[in-house]
Chain A
Amino acid sequence: MSAPAVLLVEDDENDAFFFEHAFRAAAVSARLVVARNGDEAIRTLEREAEPPCLVVLDINLPVKNGLEVLRWIREQARFDTLPVVMFTSSAADRDQREAFHLRANSFVLKPGNLKELTRVVARLLDYWLAVHHPPCAEEEPAPA
């Protein structure tokens, strides 16, 4: 059984690169899986036997945007309690409201520079991987 995965959905090559840099700097035990668009994110989630321990989801994505991916995730019973952090440069109210409406767990603005990014990513991973205590993955969700 491999180490738990963090799924980053990010289309921008540079942003993905910096996130990886920050991820490495945070030195957590999880591995990072990167999907470059919404479809790829869904395929990855379907393919992985073990659900990831955290999804970091950009909103402005080609093909299927972050909110659509989020909706898909919440429609899957087994991802019902999967932590999803929206990670975006859009501070638009509408996106934010929509994200929480679709049961995103958090909404984080992409920091403007690398130093800040490193700090934010470290804190994120620390919280969701070490502090946060998710319910048992095998547990069936309560019927809606």
Chain B
Amino acid sequence: MGAAEVFGSAPWVQERIHTGLELAGSCIALGVAGLLLIRVRYERGTAHLLWVVATLVAMGVMDGVHGLLPFGLAWSWLRHLSTLLGGLLFALAWVPLRDPRARRQPRWIALAIGTASLAVSLLVWWRQAWLPTPWTGDGYSHTTAGVNALGGLGFDTGGVYFVRRYLRGGHRDDSALAIHAALFGTSGLVFGLSHVWEPTWWALHACRLLAYVVLLAPTYRMASESFQRLGESNDELERRVAERTRALEASERRVRAITSNAPLLIAYCDPHLTYEFANEAYLDWYGLAPDEMVGRRLPDVLGDVYAQRRTYLERAVGGERVRYQGPMRHRRLGKRFTDTTYIPDRDEQGRVRGIYAFIVDVTEVKEAELAVAVAREELRRHADGLERAVSERTATLRATVEELEGFSYSIAHDMRAPLRAMQGYAQLLEEEQALDERGRQFVTRIQKAAERMDQLIRDVLDYSRVLRSDLPLSAVDAEALLRQVVESYPHLHRPDVTIEVRGPLPRVRANPAALTQVFSNLLGNAVKFVASGVAPHVVVRGERAGDRARIWVQDNGIGMEPEAAVEIFTMFRRLHPSGTYEGTGMGLAIVRKAVERMGGRVGVESAPGAGSRFWIELEAARS
């Protein structure tokens, strides 16, 4: 075979250098592939690099095997196939890839390609006898040159993708890959023109090594950036962990302070009712140290009480929030009344992994509640008693008042009978012929005194009647009533008396009997209190203001001081010494009481010597 001559002329030094060159390239390729793989795995939007990784792995493996093999057919073909396979894989950069779904996915791809490359390499080595001779006497055969050129074209095709990518994005990584592709592409295209061991051949090898080296820079940068980021994020993480730890410590301190000082018993048990935690109050209740409590079972600590609580605890362990009240024994204070809450603690799957127990000593509250209830009951009883006593006393008082009123009424009434008898006998005596002038005078005096007494009693009875009797109100024609009063009372139509009614008087709501009494008294006063020798002249007028009606009784009498006008309506208030004007001092008191009981008011305007103007005001009757 013709190749033997060429083989024979190959110096062994050159072969060693070549091996070193190829192994260096292979190592760089595999190393860079590994780093890129990490990048693809952890950085988004780097899926396209997977083709570069595939290229580097395939070429790295095949170039490595190529470098290790002794000079021969397999040695040569591995080199050309490596270029071809690498170029084809690199051209696939145009095929868009999605980001790998699983992080391990890129590794498997790389491993598969590596394995496949290794298999191809070993197959080539094992069956090298089947391979055609890559050389002619004048250098590489056309087939060989074509294979290399095809690979180079593949690299250039991929290179265009990265140029475009660089022009769009401006990433230096893309420019490095474009240069890498250009170097590979160029060396592939022109490789067929070179001759083994000749300077151009070496130059093209150097070109390929350079292509690998070009990738080192961005990969290094990427790695250093990654480590920097890693460091920074590590610092940040550490800082946050420290922060979180501090916060947690503070929180734990707070929680501990709360649980330690809370005036309630807190404990935590696992589902088998073994204590995992108990706060100070809880420990104190049973008089146990923390290490005595934790790890012990609740039934052992509770003793007899456990039997009462068992169902509640079982419900809590079953996942129910339980609350109940009941007695509990304190080691020092004895029997206490407590309010207990069990809250199940669930894990992420919702299984009960423990229960919290919160126990509040409500003995004082209960006692206070009881005391309040007792006090309230007592108060109620007391109030009831008081009310009863008041109503009893009121009833008694009312009865007494009624009795007294009745009593005074009947006294006044009964006083009239002997009085009438006195008057009667005095009159009979007056008619006796045997009586002399002096005796007759005495009889007259007896009669006068008796008459006054009788008037007084009648007035008292009138007052009492006005005070006691029901006074149902109705619409009353005041004018008609007044004229009737004037008609029926002899002292009001004496010849010297003028009573002028300047009608019409308003209709009022009143009790006719009471109003008769009022008119009679007012007119009686008007004609009585005049200076001697003056003929009484009384003017009665009416006026209406809204729903009130006023009736004025004006006289030409002696009048009075304005100050007296206030007192004049009081009982037994007389302005003149007895004897000057006859009277009992009850007339105006009766007027006031009667008018007031009919819901009205009375008043007077007067001055000494200028007469008086009395008025009564009542509700006007609706017409």
Instruction: Name A residues whose Cβ lies closer than 8 Å to a Cβ of B.
Output: 12, 14-15, 17-18, 21, 89-90, 93, 110, 112-115, 117
14 A-B pairs with CB atoms under 8 Å apart are: A14-B417, A14-B418, A14-B424, A15-B420, A18-B420, A89-B413, A89-B416, A90-B413, A110-B420, A112-B416, A112-B420, A113-B423, A114-B424, A115-B427
Residue of B nearest to A94 (CB): B469
How many residue-residue contacts, CB under 8 A, span A and B? 37
Chain B nearest Cβ from A98, distance in angstroms: 16
Specify which of B421, B427, B454 is in contact with A14 (CB 8 Å cutoff).
Answer: B421
Q: How far is the CA of A15 from the CA of B420 in the complex (A)?
A: 8
Residue-wise interface mask of B (418-444) relative to A, using a CB-CB cutoff of 8 A (1 in contact, 0 not): 101101110110000000000000000
Specify which of B416, B420, B428, B469 is in contact with A21 (CB 8 Å cutoff).
Answer: B428
Instruction: For A21, list chain B residues within 8 Å (CB).
Output: 424, 428
In the complex, the answer to whether B417 meets A89 with C-beta atoms within 8 Å is yes
Specify which of A112, A115, A117 is in contact with B454 (CB 8 Å cutoff).
Answer: A112
Chain A nearest Cβ from B517, distance in angstroms: 13
In the complex, the answer to whether A113 meets B427 with C-beta atoms within 8 Å is yes
Closest 5 CB pairs of A and B: A14-B421, A114-B424, A114-B427, A18-B424, A113-B423
Chain B nearest Cβ from A122, distance in angstroms: 16
Main secondary structure of the interface of A (DSSP, over half): helix
Interface size on B, residues (CB 8 A): 13
Chain A nearest Cβ from B118, distance in angstroms: 139
Chain B nearest Cβ from A16, distance in angstroms: 11
Q: How far is the CA of A108 from the CA of B416 in the complex (A)?
A: 17
Residue of B nearest to A110 (CB): B420
Residue of A nearest to B426 (CB): A114
Specify which of B413, B417, B420 is in contact with A113 (CB 8 Å cutoff).
Answer: B420
Q: How far is the CA of A115 from the CA of B420 in the complex (A)?
A: 11
Instruction: For B416, list chain A residues within 8 Å (CB).
Output: 89, 112
Specify which of A12, A17, A112 is in contact with B423 (CB 8 Å cutoff).
Answer: A112
Instruction: For B427, list chain A residues within 8 Å (CB).
Output: 113-115
Q: How far is the CA of A68 from the CA of B417 in the complex (A)?
A: 22
Instruction: For A89, list chain B residues within 8 Å (CB).
Output: 413, 416-417
Q: How far is the CA of A90 from the CA of B428 in the complex (A)?
A: 25
Q: How far is the CA of A113 from the CA of B425 in the complex (A)?
A: 10
Instruction: For A17, list chain B residues within 8 Å (CB).
Output: 424
Instruction: For A12, list chain B residues within 8 Å (CB).
Output: 417, 421
Chain A nearest Cβ from B421, distance in angstroms: 3
Q: How far is the CA of A113 from the CA of B430 in the complex (A)?
A: 13
